[in-house]
């Protein structure tokens, strides 16, 4: 799975939440509603993958389910996003199973009831949630309602171009990263960037705050579920570091370099073209490099951490695809059998991971000898199960707090329009909290 743009569907889910809640089977427990799983039936499954190799990978992954449940015909519908899913639920004509690329929307899915709470199914079949890493358990539920399960995962690490590193070892701390970024940068005669050691700006693809800020030990929301930007000193430390390195490059030089970059998911990506020595990216880049730039020699290592957090080195940011059963699904028992198989069966997950170049989302699958991925992929398997790995907390309005923070950094902080950082973060907290209250959070 290559990453997809995250869509905020707050208004749609808010409207969905006030509609009359109805469950399949006229009020029965979802584990007893609808046809028995053993009955002959067809379930419709919506997913977001659309490229031919992605669609094939999904089909290959469920081959075992079809053999195990010959009475259940699975109709796969590709290229579906959260908006289409929620419109279908709202209209009362949802598919039986849906998957979403956006863990940021789990809070909305669960709190609105758009996706059913899977807890009764999990308890009935005694599914051990400890097969999933703690961060994954976190992003598949909201306030105790587990309306999704994980279906493969993405995590992030530092890619280093061996030729451009000139014999230097990959950094483990932010100070090492900063020193190397300056040492490995090559400038044109006019001072513009020819080769970037490491570009800290959030306008560089995956260098967004949710992937970099965890290196500084930030806590996004406080115990009351409110914005924590001003109270957590980790945010100020992260932002000051980022701005100092941008200023070293020159803000205009950074902008010019960013505007000259190729497409992130094409062979023109600057890391693949040898224009960037170090970059934070997801595990999918391994497959891209294998197919688009096989001559590039590179390493992968965990993302460096701030110098006062060296014991946390090895972790990283985790997210991934989630899957669930919509409210109003007509075949909930068969749907659950499908969801359970695809999210807990080791062979299915390994087949899917091999086909997409993603991280399998259970601990047993991580250890499977059937995983056939390049050596550099090992880092992502290790990051995924590292106890220091983190994710973004769920909220009732999805990733709105992340969107607002990124806008603050991109539009105000990086250009130097914030005279007082603490005041700016305090104002940001107020904006985020007001939006949460408006959404009912």
252 & 214 share domain: yes
Among residues 312, 338, 373, which one ends one of the domains? Answer: 312
Residue 166: how many other CB atoms lie within 10 Å: 11
Mean pLDDT along residues 165-181: 98
Tell whether 120 and 221 lie within a shared domain.
no
Residues 64 and 110 placed together within one structural domain of the fold = yes
**Kind plus residue range of the DSSP H or E element containing 429:** helix 421-438
Categorize the per-residue pLDDT at 3 as very low, low, confident or very high, splitting at 50, 70 and 90: very low
**CA pair distance 305, 421, nearest whole angstrom:** 22
| Residue that wins the pLDDT comparison between 287 and 213 | 213
- Number of neighbours of residue 384 by Cβ within 10 angstroms: 24
Question: What are the tens digits of pLDDT across the range 67-92?
Answer: 999 999 999 999 999 999 999 999 99
Pairing mode of beta strands 149-161, 298-301: antiparallel
Could you tell me if 132 and 172 lie in one domain? Answer: no
Whether residue 103 is found in the same domain as residue 162: no
Residue 24 banded pLDDT, cuts 50, 70, 90: very low
Domain end (from 312, 345, 360): 312
In-domain check, residue 427? no
pTM of the shown model: 0.86
List the beta strands (DSSP E) in 6-89: 41-46, 72-77
Domain that holds residue 308: 156-312
Band of pLDDT at residue 22, cut at 50, 70 and 90: very low
Whether 176 maps to a domain, the answer reads: yes
Beta bridge partners of 44: 75
What's the pLDDT tens digit per position in 177-219?
A: 999 999 999 999 999 999 999 999 999 999 999 999 999 999 9
* Angstrom distance (rounded) from CA 172 to CA 177: 7
Q: Which two tokens stand for residue 435?
A: 């939006």
Tell me whether residue 428 is exposed, middle or buried, using C-beta atoms within 10 angstroms of its C-beta: 0 to 12, 13 to 18, 19 or more: buried
Q: Based on the domain organization, do 273 and 354 belong to the same domain?
A: no
Output the CA–CA distances (angstroms, integers) from residue 403 to 8, 102, 209, 428, 431, in the order listed.
9, 13, 10, 11, 11
Query: What integer pLDDT is reported at residue 370 of this predicted model?
Result: 95
Confidence check: pLDDT of 30 > 80: no
What's the mean per-residue pLDDT of the chain?
92
Share of the chain above pLDDT 70, in %: 94
Q: Do 193 and 116 fall within a single domain? A: no
Nearest to 184 by CA among 171, 173, 172: 171
Please report which confidence band the pLDDT of residue 28 belongs to, taking 50, 70 and 90 as the band edges. Answer: low
CB 197 within 8 A of CB 184: yes
Residue 21, pLDDT > 80, answer no
For residue 27, the model assigns a pLDDT of 53
- The CATH number of whichever domain residue 224 belongs to comes to 3.40.190.10
- The angle at the Cα of 217, spanning 215 to 219, to the nearest 5 degrees, equals 125
Residue 15 pLDDT > 90: no
Assigned domain for 45 exists: yes
Instruction: Say whether both 226 and 139 belong to one domain.
Output: no
Q: 11-15 contacts: CB < 8 A, separation 24 or more?
A: 12/83, 12/86, 12/87, 12/90, 13/86, 13/105, 13/108, 13/109, 13/112, 13/114, 13/398, 14/112, 14/439, 14/440, 15/90
How many C-alpha atoms does 171 have within 13 Å on its Cβ side? 26
Burial 246-273 (b: 16+ CB within 10 A, else e): beebeeebbbebbeebeebeeeebbbbe
Sequence-ordered strand ranges (E) for 233-317: 278-282, 298-301
Q: Structural domain tally of the chain?
A: 2
What average pLDDT score do residues 147-167 get? Answer: 97
CA distance 333 to 348: 20
Average pLDDT over residues 392-419: 94
Band (pLDDT 50/70/90 cuts) for residue 394 is confident
Residue scoring higher pLDDT (155 or 1): 155
Which residues, including other chains, have CB under 8 Å from residue 52's CB and lie 6 or more apart? none
Task: Clarify whether residues 238 and 370 are in a common domain.
Answer: no
45 vs 361: CA distance, rounded Å: 20
Instruction: Find all residues with CB under 8 Å of 71, minimum gap 6, and list them.
Output: 38, 39, 40, 41
Cα separation, 141 vs 145, in Å, equals: 5
Q: Does 103 share its domain with 160? A: no
211 Rama class: left (phi>0) / alpha (psi -120 to 50) / beta = alpha
Q: Is residue 432 part of a domain?
A: no
Per-residue pLDDT tens over the stretch 295-307: 999 999 999 999 9
Q: What is the pLDDT of residues 335-353, one digit of tens each?
A: 999 999 999 999 999 999 9
Give yes or no: residues 90 and 212 share one domain: no
Give domain status of residue 394, yes or no: no
* Residue 266 maps to a domain: yes
Task: Pick the closest to residue 154 from 404, 396, 391 (CA basis).
Answer: 391
- What average pLDDT score do residues 319-345 get? 97
Q: Do 37 and 95 share a structural domain?
A: yes
């Amino acid at each position: 799975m290559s990453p997809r743009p995250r869509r905020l569907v707050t208004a749609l889910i808010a409207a969905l939440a006030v509609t009359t809640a109805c469950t399949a089977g006229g009020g029965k427990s979802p584990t007893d509603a609808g046809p028995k799983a053993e009955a002959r039936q067809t379930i419709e499954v919506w997913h977001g993958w659309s490229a031919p190799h992605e669609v094939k990978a999904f089909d290959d992954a469920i081959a075992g389910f079809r053999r195990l449940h010959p009475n259940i015909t699975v109709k796969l519908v590709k290229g579906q996003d959260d908006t289409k899913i929620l419109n279908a639920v709202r209209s009362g004509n949802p598919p039986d199973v849906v998957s979403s690329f956006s863990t940021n929307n789990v809070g909305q899915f669960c709190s609105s009831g758009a996706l059913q709470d899977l807890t009764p199914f999990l308890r009935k079949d005694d599914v051990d949630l400890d097969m999933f890493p703690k961060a994954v358990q976190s992003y598949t539920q909201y306030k105790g309602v587990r309306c999704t399960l994980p279906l493969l995962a993405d995590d992030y690490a530092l890619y280093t171009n061996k030729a451009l590193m000139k014999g230097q070892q990959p950094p483990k701390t932010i100070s090492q990263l900063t020193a190397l970024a300056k040492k490995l940068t090559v400038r044109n005669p006019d001072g513009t960037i020819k080769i970037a050691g490491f570009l800290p700006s959030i306008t560089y693809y995956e260098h967004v705050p949710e992937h970099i800020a965890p290196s500084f030990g930030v806590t996004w929301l406080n115990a009351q579920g409110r914005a924590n930007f001003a109270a957590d000193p980790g945010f100020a430390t992260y932002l000051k570091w980022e701005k100092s390195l941008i200023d070293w490059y020159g803000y205009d030089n950074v902008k010019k370099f960013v505007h000259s970059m190729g497409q992130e998911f094409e062979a023109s990506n600057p890391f693949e073209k040898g224009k960037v020595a170090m970059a934070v990216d997801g595990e999918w880049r391994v497959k891209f490099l294998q197919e688009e730039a096989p001559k590039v020699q590179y390493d992968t290592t965990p993302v460096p951490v701030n110098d006062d957090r060296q014991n946390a080195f090895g972790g990283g940011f985790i997210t991934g695809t989630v899957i669930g059963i919509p409210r109003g699904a007509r075949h909930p028992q068969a749907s659950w059998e499908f969801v359970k198989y695809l999210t807990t069966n080791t062979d299915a997950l390994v087949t899917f991971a091999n086909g997409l170049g993603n991280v399998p989302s259970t601990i047993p699958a991580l250890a499977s000898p059937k995983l056939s991925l390049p050596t550099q992929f090992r880092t992502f398997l290790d990051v995924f199960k590292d106890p220091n790995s983190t994710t973004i907390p769920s909220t009732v309005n999805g990733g709105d707090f992340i969107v607002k923070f990124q806008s603050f950094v991109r539009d105000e902080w990086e250009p130097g329009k914030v005279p007082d950082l603490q005041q700016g973060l305090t104002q940001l907290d107020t904006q985020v909290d007001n939006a949460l209250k408006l959404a009912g959070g």
